[in-house]
Structure 1
Amino acid sequence: MGLLKGLRVLIVEDEGAVALLIEDMLEDLGCLVVGSISRLAQAKDVSCLIQADVAILDVNLAGELVFPVAEILRDRAIPFIFSTGYGARGLHGEYALCPVLRKPYSQSDLEQTIDAALKAFNP
């Protein structure tokens, strides 16, 4: 469990039950959830100000793509992971090589992907 202990995580996920499951997994890993946002407009506002070590971004938020949030986080040097039922094939262009969690995923998948994203962002 110690690998991610104390890590501050922002969750952007529009499905309430999925967001709660992610929160539970992160808390079991010793992480601190600093925000759980379900809509794009709010996620854009929050991502400009929040102090987070990493973010988990659902690609499709009620029909809107989360890429503007990813851009804000990238500009602020905050690593992020995409979460989607489509896997990596759901990402295109500049985001095609970003870390992806394919839904559904396990706590172990979550832990490994966060660790990989942090190492890739800060080699």
Structure 2
Amino acid sequence: MTEKIEHVLIVEDEIFVAMEMRAALMDIGVKYVEICGQLRTAIDYAEKNEIDFALVDVNLGPNQTSKTVVDILRSRDVPFAFVTAYDPDQIEFRDQNDLVFRKPVSRRCLDKVFH
């Protein structure tokens, strides 16, 4: 990423994973990190707020995926990466060029993306 990333959305239903990513992002200089652990909250946030980049889990609980959130991010031209335990070809709504990070995402991996 060449532009400064200040507002990051994390869509992740596992709070420990989300908090680890948030801490890593803050350590590398991201100013604002919003965590949305539920689909409805993530949809509302993605529709209404400034977002420079998003980290999005694929599965958000029983029978809930992040597809709607991803569709909103795409429609707003917000860059994002999937954060998941799935292999990239298992993500039905992934485009070929979408970034996919395996859980757990390391600070080193995030640092490469954000600098």
> TM-score category by the smaller chain?
0.7 to 0.9
- The equivalences for 1:42-53 within 5 A come to 42-53=41-52
Post-superposition offset of 1:4? 7.8
Q: Given residue 108 of structure 1, which amino acid in structure 2 is its aligned partner?
A: R
Post-superposition offset of 1:114? 4.7
For the Cα contact (< 8 Å) 1:10–1:56, is it kept in 2? yes
* 1:23 aligned residue: 22
Aligned length: 113
* 2:91 aligned residue: 91
Label 1:19 to 1:94 Cα distance change in 2 as closer, same or farther (>3 A).
Answer: closer
Q: Does 1:35 align with 2:18?
A: no
Kindly report the root-mean-square deviation, in angstroms, between the aligned alpha carbons of the 2 structures.
Answer: 2.0
**More helix by percentage:** 1
Which 4+ runs in 1 deviate beyond 4 A? 3-6
* 1:82 aligned residue: 82
Uncovered stretches (5+) of structure 1, i.e. residues with no partner: 116-123
Post-superposition offset of 1:5? 6.0
Ranked by relative contact order (alpha carbons within 8 Å, sequence separation 6 or more), the top structure is: 2
- The equivalences for 1:65-76 within 5 A come to 65-76=65-76
Label 1:83 to 1:50 Cα distance change in 2 as closer, same or farther (>3 A).
Answer: same
| More divergent stretch after superposition (6-15 vs 46-55) | 6-15
Calculate percent identity across the aligned residue pairs.
35
TM-score, normalisation: structure 2 = 0.86
Label 1:34 to 1:109 Cα distance change in 2 as closer, same or farther (>3 A).
Answer: closer
Uncovered stretches (5+) of structure 2, i.e. residues with no partner: none
